[in-house]
Structure 1
């Protein structure tokens, strides 16, 4: 499998495309805003006019778009993926969407004799560019086996989780974790500063215990300084938080903390912090404590 299609050239899709090109794959891309494809075109990617053309030219099409509606549009809309179907085609969805939507989309692909895998990932463009994402996969095992070489190029760790929808369930649970960690660090740093204590000493103490995380060891120092290398925007995390709460509500599961987090992140987006890194939620806390 050498011919790969990428639909969606946000920060993550762009980085994955560049890494696949560097790894010797033939990559065809599509993005609704063509200007976003210029950089990867200069590196050797073929820029298609539609998702249909991507699927015609690819053995594996990876979808990396905003939400379930966008997945359905590029898949089943006019000049969508299904219109370029051929015998070797497999579709893999990396978007963060509801597990129920994932299952419904998989069923619709099956109606067109197309296999779909779920392949959400953890990690941003900074690790995607080197192929060090962590990937969760669900769907047909034989299709995963067929794509495994490509997926191992994209991710350094892969967890196969079984039937369709499970990988997206795990992805939402992981994003719940990063939401809470970002908020906990932001509140602790804000609290320590208000007590006229050194927040860097707070991090030094925290990181000497088993309560430390990758976020507390790395991004938290930038949070103190108000410097952000945006790998995943605050607005995008807010969108994923809403996906988590919608999924929980549909299951009748009460998750009071993520519901409160959704309110906080929504207020932060309204306050103008949506396009900075999600750990910039600390900037919203600064604002409401002025």
Structure 2
């Protein structure tokens, strides 16, 4: 496949689109706010006026939008993907959504004889721009195989996980890890700082042990300096945390720590911290301690 469409040019969608263009794919893009399409248009991408127009020009349409409602809007509403489909189009959803919603959307696409794949990814825009994301895929296996050259360009590791919805379950489990790691680092840094210990010394010790992570080796040092350049905003992580708790309820399981984290991130949003990087949750931890 060579003709690709990307719907949704937020931070991740824009980086994926730029990498596909740099990799030689014929690219058509759509974004609700048209101004966001201008930089990639200058690099050679075609800009569509609607999701319908993207579907008319692409072999695979990649959706990268905020939530399930946004996926349904660009897919099924007026001038949506299903109104402009060509004979062999495949839809691949990179958005982070509820697995049950993903299954419902896949079934709806099948009513139009369109196959949909789930392709959520791990890694931010800085990784997407170089094609080094980690992708979790699920859905129709034959459709997946036909898109493999595109996915191999986007990600350096691609895991096919089975039936529709499964990839989104794993993506939510991964974002659960991110949530807890950011909170653990925030509380650890706050603890040692209140104990008159240099937080960087704490991180040096942590990163000398089995318990180090990519976050503790990279983003944690920015956290100690109050640097929160957003690669994934706190508001977006809060949205995903809520999706995790909704999914847990639908599965009939209890995840007490993520339920508590949902409260903490919700309080941080109420403090106006939504637009900074998710690691800025440390600012909320600081705030509730400074107020005591």
Length-normalised TM-score, structure 1: 0.99
Unaligned runs of 5+ in 2: none
Three-state SS of the structure 2 residue aligned to 1:61 is strand
The equivalent residue for 2:51 is: 51
CA distance in 2, matches of 1:250, 1:102: 14
How many residue pairs get aligned? The number is 290
Structure 1 segments of 4+ aligned residues over 6 angstroms from their partners: none
Q: Does 1:242 align with 2:242?
A: yes
Three-state SS of the structure 1 residue aligned to 2:231 is coil
Q: Does 1:167 align with 2:167?
A: yes
The equivalent residue for 2:41 is: 41
Q: How does 1:42-191 map to 2 (within 5 A)?
A: 42-191=42-191
CA distance in 1, matches of 2:249, 2:63: 26
Q: Alpha-carbon deviations, 1:242-265, whole Å to 9, x = none?
A: 000011112221111000000000
Three-state SS of the structure 2 residue aligned to 1:205 is helix
Unaligned runs of 5+ in 1: none
Three-state SS of the structure 1 residue aligned to 2:91 is strand
CA distance in 2, matches of 1:249, 1:115: 28
Deviation at 1:229?
Answer: 2.4
Q: Alpha-carbon deviations, 1:93-130, whole Å to 9, x = none?
A: 00000000000000000110000000000000000000
CA distance in 2, matches of 1:64, 1:153: 16
Q: Does 1:4 align with 2:4?
A: yes
Q: Alpha-carbon deviations, 1:132-168, whole Å to 9, x = none?
A: 0000000111111100001000000000001000000
CA distance in 2, matches of 1:224, 1:45: 40
Three-state SS of the structure 1 residue aligned to 2:147 is helix
Q: Does 1:285 align with 2:285?
A: yes
